[in-house]
């Protein structure tokens, strides 16, 4: 070998040093490992304990909540609720479960049924003359159609959901007579009224009537609804409607339509027998149907109409009970938009989509010059899929449009 000795000899101690270093390294590693293991045990053990305790706590909480739902929260304890299977889905330990979605379900003859359905009148009727507008509302339990071939055991003002549109002039006194033809207490809450709710909005017992008055001092388009507890259930079951309080200074338009948005939460398909409320779906805000004026896409088969050059005014209320409506007219802009139904201030102009909150309203003017078919929707598109779409036919053109 040609290696110089000097290069070879020093290599040995160096090698030994390496070995020693390796040994001492492994000692350090062992010590580090032991230290780490110690720390790990010290840290992980309490975490594990904590997790175990919290899991037990969560189980206890869940059991308590389920027990509470099964006893105190059970709608079956309330009058008129016992016959609602969708509302008694609580179990001792499992909580409540929603029925599967029935969204979009349609029988084979759905088109024919849709054509036969008498659309809820959306055209705004004139306000009564005189200083007092008399409004009589019967409250009842009745079966309504909410989509082609789909029925629902509703609670209603009048015999429809939404209830009748009320149209008064700003400053008019509204004299309300309520008659309860239903089997349980109901009431009415007018968002248009500034009035002591414990007096005017109190329960009317079955078979009884009551009358109260309020002055429609604030212009706008307002929701009315049953306020009997739980109002959520009374609204979800159909007890809502719109009241238009019209000021004298709005620009004239050629057509005025009232649209009430609402959701339906079904505990069955509603085909062979009427559905009723699935409270779990309602709590989860996962409707089966979302409608304009209570019936899925009814203004597709029975379009609202206008002529080219007309301005159309939409009075929109979102009855909820929970979802917001994002009002939009396809192929148009909202030329005047009184957001939140604020008719005291100037409108906004030329906006594409206007929010209408649950329990709120909005007034929207749309001027359309070209003949055609213009869908109006909530641009929260899941709602369109569940039925919240209608058509404005401008110029009485042939055909239809889906969206
Ligand atoms: Cu009610
Ligand atoms: Cu309310």
CA distance 219 to 163: 20
The 3-state DSSP class for residue 340 equals helix
239 CA from centroid of ligand 1 (Å): 6
> The domain 110-394 belongs to what CATH superfamily?
Cupredoxins -  blue copper proteins (2.60.40.420)
pLDDT band at 47 (very low <50, low <70, confident <90, very high): very low
> What pLDDT shows up at residue 94?
67
34 CA from centroid of ligand 1 (Å): 70
66 CA from centroid of ligand 2 (Å): 29
234 CA from centroid of ligand 1 (Å): 5
92 CA from centroid of ligand 2 (Å): 33
| Ligand found nearest the CA of 222 | 2
CA distance 342 to 285: 27
pLDDT digits (tens, 9 = 90+) for 121-148: 999 999 999 999 999 999 999 999 999 9
pLDDT band at 64 (very low <50, low <70, confident <90, very high): very low
> What pLDDT shows up at residue 96?
82
Q: Which of 38-42, 71-75, 322-326, 387-391 has the lowest mean pLDDT?
A: 71-75
299 CA from centroid of ligand 1 (Å): 27
Give the torsion through C-alpha atoms of 205, 206, 210, 215, to 10 deg.
80
| pTM greater than 0.85 (yes/no) | no
Q: Which residues of 63-72 are buried (b: 16+ CB within 10 A; e: fewer)?
A: eeebeebbee
| Ligand found nearest the CA of 205 | 1
CA distance 53 to 220: 55
**Partners of 349 in beta bridges:** 336
Q: Are 69 and 77 in contact (CB under 8 A)?
A: no
336 CA from centroid of ligand 1 (Å): 35
Q: Are 310 and 394 in contact (CB under 8 A)?
A: yes
pLDDT band at 15 (very low <50, low <70, confident <90, very high): very low
Examine the pLDDT at 261 and tell me if it is beyond 90: yes
| Ligand found nearest the CA of 79 | 1
| Ligand found nearest the CA of 190 | 2
29 CA from centroid of ligand 2 (Å): 70
What DSSP line would sit under 26-44, residue for residue?
A: HHHHHHHHHHHHHHHHHHH
Give the torsion through C-alpha atoms of 268, 274, 279, 283, to 10 deg.
80
110 CA from centroid of ligand 2 (Å): 34
Examine the pLDDT at 228 and tell me if it is beyond 80: yes
262 CA from centroid of ligand 2 (Å): 14
> What pLDDT shows up at residue 3?
35
302 CA from centroid of ligand 2 (Å): 30
Examine the pLDDT at 187 and tell me if it is beyond 50: yes
Residue with tokens 């149907």: 289
> What pLDDT shows up at residue 268?
98
- List, in sequence order, the alpha helices (H) in 187-302: 197-200, 231-236, 279-284, 298-301
180 CA from centroid of ligand 2 (Å): 19
Examine the pLDDT at 221 and tell me if it is beyond 80: yes
133 CA from centroid of ligand 2 (Å): 21
| Ligand found nearest the CA of 225 | 2
255 CA from centroid of ligand 1 (Å): 32
The 3-state DSSP class for residue 166 equals strand
Domain locations in the chain as residue ranges? 110-394
> What pLDDT shows up at residue 214?
97
232 CA from centroid of ligand 1 (Å): 9
Q: Which residues of 277-313 are buried (b: 16+ CB within 10 A; e: fewer)?
A: bbbbbbeeebbbbbbbbbbbbbbbbbbbbbeeebbbb
| Ligand found nearest the CA of 235 | 1
pLDDT band at 45 (very low <50, low <70, confident <90, very high): very low
Query: Within a 10 A sphere around the Cβ of 266, how many other Cβ atoms?
Result: 28
- How would you list the strands of the sheet with 289-292, edge to edge? 289-292, 255-264, 311-320, 360-367, 334-338, 348-351
CA distance 132 to 68: 48
> What pLDDT shows up at residue 400?
83
| Ligand found nearest the CA of 317 | 2
Q: Are 341 and 363 in contact (CB under 8 A)?
A: yes
103 CA from centroid of ligand 2 (Å): 27
């Amino acid at each position: 070998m040609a290696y110089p000795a000097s290069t070879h000899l020093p290599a040995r101690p160096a090698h030994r040093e390496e070995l020693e270093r390796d040994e001492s390294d492994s000692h350090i590693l062992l010590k580090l490992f032991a230290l780490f293991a110690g720390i790990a045990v010290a840290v992980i053990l309490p975490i594990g304990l904590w997790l175990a305790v919290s899991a037990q706590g969560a189980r206890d909480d869940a059991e308590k909540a389920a027990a509470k739902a099964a006893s105190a929260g059970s709608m079956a304890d309330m009058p008129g609720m016992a016959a609602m299977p969708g509302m008694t889905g609580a179990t001792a330990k499992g909580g409540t479960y929603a029925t599967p979605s029935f969204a979009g379900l349609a029988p084979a003859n759905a088109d024919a049924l849709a054509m036969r359905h008498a659309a809820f009148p959306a055209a705004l009727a004139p306000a009564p003359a005189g200083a007092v507008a008399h409004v009589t509302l019967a409250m009842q339990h009745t079966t309504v159609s909410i989509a082609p071939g789909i029925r629902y055991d509703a609670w209603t003002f009048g015999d429809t959901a939404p209830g009748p549109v009320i149209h008064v002039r700003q400053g008019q006194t509204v004299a309300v007579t309520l008659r309860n033809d239903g089997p349980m207490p109901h009431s009415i809450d007018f968002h248009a009224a500034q009035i002591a709710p414990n007096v005017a909005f109190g329960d009317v017992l079955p078979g009884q009537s009551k009358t109260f008055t309020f002055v429609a001092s604030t212009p706008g388009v307002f929701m009315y609804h049953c306020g009997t507890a739980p109002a959520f259930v009374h609204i979800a079951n159909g007890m809502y409607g719109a009241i238009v309080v019209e000021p004298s200074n709005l620009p004239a338009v050629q057509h005025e339509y009232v649209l009430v948005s609402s959701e339906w939460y079904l505990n069955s398909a509603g085909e062979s027998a009427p559905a009723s409320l699935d409270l779990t779906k309602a709590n989860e805000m996962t409707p089966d149907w979302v409608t304009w004026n209570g019936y899925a896409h009814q203004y597709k088969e029975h379009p609202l109409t206008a002529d080219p050059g007309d301005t159309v005014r939409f009075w929109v209320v979102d009855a909820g009970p929970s979802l917001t409506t994002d009002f939009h007219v396809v192929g148009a802009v909202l030329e005047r938009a009184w957001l939140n139904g604020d008719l005291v201030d100037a409108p906004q102009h030329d906006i594409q989509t206007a929010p209408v909150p649950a329990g709120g309203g909005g007034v929207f003017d749309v001027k359309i010059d070209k003949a055609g078919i213009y869908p109006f929707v909530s641009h929260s598109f899941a709602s369109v899929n569940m039925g919240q779409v209608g058509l404005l036919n401008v110029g009485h053109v042939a055909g239809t449009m889906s969206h």
